């Protein structure tokens, strides 16, 4: 891997900023290659002037080394419009990260040892509530029920606190999990010869943390919050600890104060999952669909004939617990966002799904009816790929949808003591109920996953929130 060093001296760089706070910078030509990279600004001094911002950079010989999986962005910096601070950014895989810790002052954020000098180098330390943009009263010791994707929190507009899944993707991109510590640590600043190689330009610094009684510790360690909570008082973090080559994955008290690295929002990508893409866009354009109207609420669903059966080609989105009392407390929109129900329908407990939720003339399929559908599609080994929609499944998990069933990765809902209701697996999997009971605690259904072409007809616990597809009554 070739390295390039650029020294600017006391250069003045002109940055033209776009609406998402990423600014193109006119910098002196590199003496060796256009792929050479150096920090755009270390002084963090920014002056505004009509359409252009002026960024002053002090002398620096720091190097960011790129690799086949990472791309440093030498011509761009992030300028936080809230306080004018600038941050280097780096592209790692298909993600764009801040290459420095956030240093935006807000309630429940701190400088190590209460020293502003530490904040200038290491950024601020945030409680989890502050990191997700909430008060301690709202989220410090209770479940917040935040969406699991694109939680802006304390980050600048157009950026967000990374989710657990996004942090997973980052770690697997840079190395063999969990042996990534040396790869993402900065080349200087760590004690006792424990500096990293910083192969990807992430430049993790030993910022330490603030404990729940207001003391500071762990100066030769780094901890980064994720946007996902665990229980009322704990949330997920990634830690880099002196002497440990692994990424320390787990949960910590929300009232601890850790560093924040922000991740750039992605534009909706039709190929992968996004709740911003309308459901009709996911249907197979080469299939001639029929439709049926639900007289109870006026919703219209696409339908498709597969073999001798007629199926809804969309997930059920019926929620009237007055007309159907058995639905009360038994169905949800993922992340409790009604807009998501308009994309992928509702998630139902089994006990709710068997309360006659399907529209008149239709019913919840039995285990045998699901089995007949799978047989029509050539058997379980390949039926999953033929049931899945042609777009929307993350990590190259899309199907061929040649019959127009258009199964979406709607995820699932689950609940547990101390954890409350949680949602997961949207983008990667879906579960469909059958009306066939297994025993007192479980029933049968079909599961589809992005990593497999198989359609599994299996036993699920009844208290999993799963999707419903109705099948037309036989004439």
> Global pTM?
0.69
Q: What is the per-residue pLDDT across 59-85, written as a single tens digit (0 to 9) for each?
A: 333 333 334 455 656 557 899 999 999
Over residues 118-129, the mean pLDDT reads 97
Q: Which of 13-22, 343-352, 353-362, 389-398 has the lowest mean pLDDT?
A: 13-22
Over residues 349-354, the mean pLDDT reads 97
The radius of gyration computed from the CA coordinates of the chain, to the nearest angstrom, equals: 26
The pLDDT score that the predictor gives to residue 245 is: 80
Q: What is the per-residue pLDDT across 373-388, written as a single tens digit (0 to 9) for each?
A: 999 999 999 999 999 9
Q: What is the per-residue pLDDT across 296-322, written as a single tens digit (0 to 9) for each?
A: 999 999 999 999 999 999 999 999 999
Whole-Å CA distances, 21 to 35, 84, 92, 190: 22, 11, 19, 31
Helix, strand, coil shares of the chain as percentages rounded to 5?
15, 30, 55
pLDDT at 46 over 80: no
Over residues 133-152, the mean pLDDT reads 88
Residue 233 in contact with residue 252, Cβ under 8 Å? no
Summary mean pLDDT of the chain: 84
Share of the chain above pLDDT 90, in %: 67
pLDDT at 459 over 90: yes
Q: Which residues contact 289 (CB under 8 A, 6 or more apart)?
A: 283, 302, 303, 304, 313, 404
Q: Specify the higher pLDDT residue, 214 or 191.
A: 214
Under the banding of pLDDT at 50, 70 and 90, the label for residue 91 is: very high
Q: Which phi-psi region, left, alpha or beta, contains residue 395 (left: φ > 0; alpha: ψ -120 to 50)?
A: left
The pLDDT score that the predictor gives to residue 361 is: 98
Q: Which phi-psi region, left, alpha or beta, contains residue 420 (left: φ > 0; alpha: ψ -120 to 50)?
A: left
pLDDT at 156 over 50: yes
Nearest to 304 by CA among 294, 291, 316: 291
The pLDDT score that the predictor gives to residue 75 is: 59
């Amino acid at each position: 891997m070739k390295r390039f060093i650029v020294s600017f001296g006391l250069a003045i760089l002109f940055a033209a900023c776009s609406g998402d706070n990423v600014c193109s910078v006119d910098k002196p030509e590199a003496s060796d290659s256009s792929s050479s990279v150096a920090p755009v600004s270390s002084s963090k001094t920014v002056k505004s002037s009509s359409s252009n911002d002026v960024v002053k950079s002090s002398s620096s010989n720091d190097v960011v080394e790129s690799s086949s999986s990472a791309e440093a962005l030498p011509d761009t910096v992030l300028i936080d419009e809230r306080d004018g601070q600038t941050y280097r950014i780096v592209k790692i895989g298909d993600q764009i990260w801040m290459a420095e810790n956030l240093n935006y002052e807000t309630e429940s954020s701190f400088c190590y040892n209460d020293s502003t000098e530490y904040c200038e180098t290491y950024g601020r330390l945030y409680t989890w509530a502050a990191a997700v943009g909430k008060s301690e009263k709202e989220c410090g010791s209770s479940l917040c029920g935040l969406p699991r994707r694109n939680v802006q929190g304390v980050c600048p507009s157009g950026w967000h606190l990374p989710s657990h899944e996004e942090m997973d993707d980052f770690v697997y991109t840079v190395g063999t999990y969990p042996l990534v510590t040396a790869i993402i640590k900065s080349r200087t600043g760590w004690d006792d010869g424990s500096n990293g190689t910083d192969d990807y330009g992430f430049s993790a610094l030993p910022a330490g943390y603030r404990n729940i009684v207001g003391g500071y510790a762990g100066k030769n360690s780094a901890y980064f919050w994720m946007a996902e909570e665990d229980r009322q008082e704990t949330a997920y973090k990634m830690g880099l600890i002196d002497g440990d080559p692994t990424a320390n994955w787990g949960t910590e008290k929300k009232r601890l104060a850790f560093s924040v690295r922000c991740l750039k929002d992605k534009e909706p990508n039709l190929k992968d999952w996004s709740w911003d893409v309308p459901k009709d866009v996911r249907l197979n354009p080469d299939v001639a669909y029929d439709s049926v109207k639900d007289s109870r609420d006026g919703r219209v669903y696409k339908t498709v004939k597969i073999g001798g059966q007629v199926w809804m080609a969309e997930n059920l989105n019926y929620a009237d617990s007055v007309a159907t009392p058995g639905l009360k407390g038994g169905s949800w929109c993922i992340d409790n966002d009604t807009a998501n129900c308009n994309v992928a329908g509702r998630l139902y407990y089994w006990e709710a799904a068997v309360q006659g939720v399907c529209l008149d003339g239709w019913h919840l399929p039995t285990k045998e009816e699901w089995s007949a559908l799978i047989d029509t599609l050539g058997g379980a080994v390949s039926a999953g790929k033929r049931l899945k929609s042609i777009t929307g499944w993350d990590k190259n998990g899309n199907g061929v949808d040649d019959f127009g069933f258009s199964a979406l990765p709607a995820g699932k809902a689950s609940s547990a003591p101390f954890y409350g209701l949680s949602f997961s697996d949207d983008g990667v999997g879906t579960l469909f109920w059958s009306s066939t009971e297994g025993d007192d605690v479980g029933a049968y259904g079909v599961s589809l996953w992005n990593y497999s072409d198989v359609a599994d007809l299996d036993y699920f616990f009844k208290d999993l929130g799963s999707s419903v597809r109705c099948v037309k009554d036989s004439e």
